Amino acid sequence: SQQGEEDPQALSIQEGENATMNCSYKTSINNLQWYRQNSGRGLVHLILIRSNEREKHSGRLRVTLDTSKKSSSLLITASRAADTASYFCATDAGNSGYSTLTFGKGTMLLVSP
């Protein structure tokens, strides 16, 4: 069953603006990961946030996690045309020490020059 669901499905902004994407999930998680996929390519891991963390930064990326609302957000600051891609959240909800990632449908981000 689908665990993470991204919102919005598509986002179009101008270079220099910030882009915010959200991810909601249904069951408790151990951690949540964000990935980027450029057209026709594989997914690239961006950042992992654990269930006991609330915020994490990596360069121009900022990820927040609210376990009470079962949601996460990915903020890309000062966006560039090269940030144009699809962004996916993936949740790890396994127990007993074994788990696999479940991906959402993704948010397609278009950054115009």
Partner 1 sequence: ETGVTQTPRHLVMGMTNKKSLKCEQHLGHNAMYWYKQSAKKPLELMFVYNFKEQTENNSVPSRFSPECPNSSHLFLHLHTLQPEDSALYLCASSQEAGLGNSPLHFGNGTRLTVT
Burial of 60 (0-12, 13-18, 19+ CB in 10 A): middle
94 touches 109 (CB < 8 A)? no
Q: Could you say whether residue 94 binds partner 1 (CB under 8 A)? A: yes
9 touches 107 (CB < 8 A)? yes
Candidate list 24, 67, 77, 99; residue touching partner 1; CB under 8 A = 99
Structure tokens at 83: 């940030």
Q: Could you say whether residue 67 binds partner 1 (CB under 8 A)? A: no
| Shortest distance in whole angstroms from residue 43 CB to partner 1 | 5
| Paired sense of beta strands 71-76 and 19-24, if any | antiparallel
| Shortest distance in whole angstroms from residue 7 CB to partner 1 | 14
Q: Could you say whether residue 33 binds partner 1 (CB under 8 A)? A: yes
How many residues in the shown chain lie near partner 1 by CB under 8 A? 27
Candidate list 21, 70, 72, 104; residue touching partner 1; CB under 8 A = 104
Q: Could you say whether residue 48 binds partner 1 (CB under 8 A)? A: yes
